[in-house]
Chains A and B, each alone.
Chain A
Amino acid sequence: MSTVVECTLCPRRCKLIDGQRGDCRVRINLEGKLQTLVFGNPCSVHIDPIEKKPFYHVLPGTRSFSIATAGCNLHCKYCQNWQISQMPPEELENYDLVPASVVEKALATNCRTIAYTYSDPVVFFEYTLETSKIARPRGILNILRTGAYIEEEPLRELLEHVDAINVDFKGITEEFYQGMSGGHLEPVLKAMKLIQKQGVWLELTNLIIPTWNDKDGDIKLLCRWIMDHLGPNVPLHFSRFWPQHQLKNLPPTPEETIIRARQIALQTGIRHTYVGNLPEDDGNHTYCPEDGTLLIRRVGYDVLENNLSDGRCPKCNAKIPGLWI
């Protein structure tokens, strides 16, 4: 009789018979033991501007050595990386890159951070963890872009070794999470609070999708939750949707919707709110929340000006939250 194992990494808690894979497609029960199929096998390796993740309050203007493997534990209808996130590893071309090699390559290419991104580092947990452990003593920061759909115990372990996390805060309702991503809202809310409580730098991204989460009420509710539970200093990025994957029937988000969302967030009290996928809008810049001084000027992913002085406003000396050096 075969042994059934339960994966306790994410809230799905997949129960797997011998030979069966989890919902993420990359964790499998082989002869009574849960195995990961993606340790040291990234399918994507790139060097990106850190602004692309997006992180706007972490080492602006630097490059990030970015890796991803196949698989994801969410199944967003709009996923921009569905070609890797919704695939098992054997259907992709994978590199052979052990954690130590990732760190060496990051150092050799003058990257100050390693980004675990594109799909979701939750499903390549062990790879992220081991690489992070090697990277940090070598002076490299570990930054994650994730849906934060993860159980508390593994998240706590990961938080000991990572420096910054951008959570893809997809929506503020359970209906949105179930309908759009096949997950649940509550574990994500819990994870965001824990990330901040543990002192890891947190930024948030909310993709605004026409007809799904673009009403002023949705945006106000999301901003209110952030203010009430995370406070005013968490940078919030509103990203413009572009028709992808299973949502090609929808139009791109109107630019004015993104700009309006930013205004709502600022009115709610969130101090650092940005627009995404609108490269030339003023909402890409960082301003001092005290006196409005332009601190960082951006066009798209490029930093054109950085006027911060030791993480402070050069005029009023206000401390700007972030990881600046």
Chain B
Amino acid sequence: MNKSDKPLTVFLTLACLLLAGIVAENIRTAYLAQNPGVVIDVSQVKATLNKAGVKWQEAKYWKKL
């Protein structure tokens, strides 16, 4: 590689990473938009349900992936 090409390579690599990040975030946002109720903090979910008096029990018809 020519020494003068190095900054360009670094720049392009960073640009690609940035682009990939934007695409990944868009995919994640679209996924979340289509799946209302998505949360990560399960204890918070349980607390919310408990506070509202909503009980839960194991459902039928599901499988682990």
Contact = CB atoms under 8 A, between A and B. Distances in A.
A5 B64 contact: yes
Interface string A159-189: 0000000000000000000000000000000
Residue of B37, B41, B48, B53 most packed against chain A (CB within 10 A): B37
Nearest to A8: B61
Interface string B20-42: 00000000000000111111111
Contacts of B48: 90
Interface string A79-92: 00000000011110
A176 B55 CA distance: 36
Contacts of A22: 35, 37
Contact of A27 (B46, B59, B65): B59
B49 interface: yes
Nearest to B41: A19
A228 interface: no
A151 B60 CA distance: 12
A237 B42 CA distance: 44
B38 A20 contact: yes
B42 to A, nearest CB: 4
Nearest to B36: A25
A21 B37 contact: yes
A40 B55 CA distance: 9
Contacts, number: 105
A11 B52 CA distance: 29
Interface size class of B (residues with CB under 8 A): 20 to 34
A19 B47 CA distance: 12
A39 B57 contact: yes
A20 B61 contact: no
A20 B62 CA distance: 14
Residue of B39, B55, B61 most packed against chain A (CB within 10 A): B61
Interface string A9-37: 10000111111111101011011111111
Contact of A23 (B36, B53, B56, B59): B36
A246 to B, nearest CB: 16
Contacts of B58: 33-36
B60 A9 contact: yes
B45 interface: yes
A167 to B, nearest CB: 20
Interface of B: 34-42, 45-46, 48-49, 51-65
Given A37-B56, A91-B52, 8 more contacts: A3-B65, A9-B60, A18-B42, A25-B36, A28-B37, A28-B45, A35-B59, A39-B55
